[in-house]
Structure 1
Amino acid sequence: MSSSPQPEPPALVAATAMFIEVLVVGIGALTAAVLLLIALIGPATTARLTPVAGSSAAAGVGLAAAYALGILIDRAADAALTPHRRRLRTHSFPSDAGYAQARLQLADFPVLAARADYARSRMRICRGWALNTLALTIAADLAMLRYSFEHRSLILGAITALGLTTAFGFYRAWRALTVTGYRKLAEQTTTSAANQPVPAQPPPSPASP
């Protein structure tokens, strides 16, 4: 009896990396959702629900929710930044056809394609966390408003400033990775095309008398 075919290692690694990438983004979104829930239900109800939140069932539900939220945040961040990303792409690829052709050429070089995939993974994480940080900042401010403690205004201001600065930092990182990725793709595909051997031309046929 023949064994069932196993997935190819590169495909398995890519799928694992994608799962981790979505989960990393989703954990931030889930944290923001929990902070927002705390702001809505208040300190007393939060204290009663704390034992339930530490159970194994809650951990499993949280992991699934983080993955689902990661997909939503990734799509939302992509939709928000797509117009800007397309403007950045025109610096290296004036036309969509040229970009599509470069992507096809890169597929012929597995090492370069793997590096490009890694760069895009970092770009997607920065893109998602730029949105996550804004959500975390708002949710944290709302949650802290439900509690009374000393120097609350100062702490709220510090958290807001830190959150906005971090969100801007993630945006700048996304922009730098995006610009660099397009530039390297243009350089690598141009160099690779130039280094490809020119096919030999058949000798000219002798002229007929």
Structure 2
Amino acid sequence: MTNPPQPEPPALAAATAMFIEVLVVGIGTLAAGALLLVALAGPATTAKIAPATDSTLVAGVALAAAYALGILTDRAADAALSPIRRRLRTDSFPSASSYAQARIRLTEVPALAAQADYARSRMRICRGWLVNTVALTLAGGLALLRYSFEHRELVVCAIAVLGLLTAFGFYRAWHTLTATGYRKLAEQTTLATSSPPVPSQTQPTPAP
């Protein structure tokens, strides 16, 4: 008789989710870097180099580079948006200590903590892809300008407009997720603190 599969440990699940988040962000950063290299190298050099990139070794290096770049992009996006994030946090928490205490209280309710982790995961992806979208738009425009084709200026302008709209969409999504996360954290931890404790059942006294 085989034993049923054991559930994935919470720490392992969180580490896996974090790895995927960083990789998702890093792939966009790597793509922007590749477009920038295409813009710098030009069509002729790019055509010569392209066949050499079709190998397992290059794919493995690209995956590792995407993960490393994802870390850098996430930190850069967090630093760039930190003034807005702090302002949104003060709308729900008067001080950094009150926010830290709320985070500690949230860990006492695993279901709420899991929901908060999922919301933060989406927030990190949105802020990372906000930076990626701007980088992809600039690098893509520069790369297209190195090639000659019909209606080139119109295509570059269309990509620029689409990139700006997409970047604004990621910013609004990050802003909404961040503000909602702080508000829910304040509400949930306040309710958890103010809820009356459950009375313990008195054990019957044995008869003498």
Aligned residue in 2 for 1:164: 164
Deviation at residue 90 of structure 1 after TM alignment? 0.8
Q: Which runs of 5+ in 2 are unaligned?
A: 1-7, 201-208
Report the AA paired with residue 121 of structure 1: S
Aligned residue in 2 for 1:203: none
Matches for 1:40-59 after TM superposition, within 5 Å: 40-59=40-59
Q: Deviations over 1:93-141 (max 9, x none)?
A: 1111111110010010011001100100100000000000000000000
Aligned residue in 1 for 2:21: 21
Deviation at residue 155 of structure 1 after TM alignment? 0.3
Report the AA paired with residue 86 of structure 1: R
Matches for 1:63-102 after TM superposition, within 5 Å: 63-102=63-102
Aligned residue in 2 for 1:124: 124
Report the AA paired with residue 172 of structure 1: R
Secondary structure of the residue aligned to 1:64 is helix
Q: Deviations over 1:146-172 (max 9, x none)?
A: 000000010000000000100010000
The 10-residue stretch of structure 1 (50-59 or 121-130) with the greater mean CA deviation from structure 2? 50-59
Aligned residue in 1 for 2:4: none
Question: 2: distance between equivalents of 1:173 and 1:186?
Answer: 20
Identity of aligned residues (%): 72
Q: Which runs of 5+ in 1 are unaligned?
A: 1-7, 201-209
Aligned residue in 2 for 1:3: none
Q: Deviations over 1:46-102 (max 9, x none)?
A: 111111111111100100000000000000000000111000111111111111110
TM-score, normalisation: structure 2:
0.91
Deviation at residue 198 of structure 1 after TM alignment? 8.0
Paired positions, count = 195
Report the AA paired with residue 109 of structure 2: F
Question: 2: distance between equivalents of 1:16 and 1:62?
Answer: 19
TM-score, normalisation: structure 1:
0.90
Matches for 1:121-200 after TM superposition, within 5 Å: 121-197=121-197
Report the AA paired with residue 59 of structure 1: A
Deviation at residue 199 of structure 1 after TM alignment? 8.5
Question: 2: distance between equivalents of 1:106 and 1:51?
Answer: 52
Which runs of at least 4 in structure 1 moved beyond 2 Å after TM superposition? none
Q: Deviations over 1:16-57 (max 9, x none)?
A: 000000000000000000000000001111111111111111
Question: 1: distance between equivalents of 2:176 and 2:113?
Answer: 19
Question: 1: distance between equivalents of 2:69 and 2:95?
Answer: 34
